[in-house]
Amino acid sequence: MVDASAVRGLYVITDTTVNHDDELLSMVRQALEGGAAVVQYRDKSDAHERRRREAEALLALCRQYRALFVINDDVELAAAIGAPAVHLGRDDDDPARARARLGSHVVIGVSCYGSLERADQLAAAGADYLAFGSVFPSPTKPEAVPLPLATLAVAAERYRQPLVAIGGITPDNAGPVVAAGVDAVAVISGVFAAPDPRLAAARIADLFDSGAAGGA
Our answer to whether residue 44 is catalytic in this structure is: no
Contact, 85 vs 52, CB < 8 A?
no
Cα end-to-end span (Å), the chain: 23
Our answer to whether residue 26 is catalytic in this structure is: no
- By three-state DSSP, how is residue 130 classified? strand
Q: ∠ CA(176), CA(138), CA(9), 5° rounding?
A: 45
Phi then psi for residue 130, to 5 deg, are: -125, 130
| Single-letter amino acid, residue 157 | E
Enumerate the H helices of 34-166 as residue ranges: 48-65, 75-81, 95-102, 116-124, 149-158
Phi then psi for residue 34, to 5 deg, are: -80, -10
Catalytic residue among 53, 141, 158, 189: 141
CA distance 107 to 4: 6
Contact, 158 vs 3, CB < 8 A?
no
Catalytic residue among 8, 42, 99, 198: 42
Catalytic residue among 8, 51, 99, 111: 111
- Point out the residues that are catalytic: 42, 111, 141
